[in-house]
Amino acid sequence: MKQREQVIRNLAFQMFEMSKRTWLATQREKFKGGYDLSESEFLALDALERVPSLSVGQLRQHVGVLPAQMSRVIKALEQRYDEKLVLCAINPEDKRKIDVSIAPTGRRAVDAYRRAKIQALVAALESLSDTDLADFTRILDKIAAATIRTRGRAVV
């Protein structure tokens, strides 16, 4: 393997490990908000927060899971808490489809999850100097642009 490829693989591994540590820190914090969301559940709520209503199939595509997994995610969001995080209804135009929308409790849950995740990242970034923050911002902007360009492929 070429040296550049090895450096890229090592950096990707380090980013993955950092993501896991952030996830673990978030796990501890999110219980304070009272919502124990899986990553798929968060992604579903996040998509529904941006679009008022999606069919189960559309939501599945946003989350990127298999149909059976999507059914489990929706069931958990409907039944795990005292109040439903999502609301399901038969599509009035096509009775074969189920539309899913976010409930007010779902908005609170996705907000609590997002705050906990961001707080864990803020804590990690606070250790960087101003110069390192500027460098990191520049590099992160380049990575973000590359992921947008390659989204049609299996990169992101």
**What is the pLDDT at residue 140?**
87
Cα–Cα distance measured from residue 64 to residue 69, given in angstroms and rounded to the nearest whole number: 10
Q: Can you tell me whether residue 97 is helix, strand or coil?
A: coil
**What is the pLDDT at residue 156?**
36
**What is the pLDDT at residue 70?**
96
Residue 58: exposure state from Cβ atoms within 10 A (0-12, 13-18, ≥19): middle
**What is the pLDDT at residue 27?**
64
The predicted-structure confidence for 28-68, as pLDDT tens digits, reads as follows 655 555 678 888 999 999 999 999 899 999 999 999 999 99
What tokens appear for 114 in the block?
């997002």
Q: Mean pLDDT across the stretch 19-24? A: 74
The predicted-structure confidence for 107-155, as pLDDT tens digits, reads as follows 999 998 888 888 878 888 888 899 998 998 899 888 888 887 655 543 3
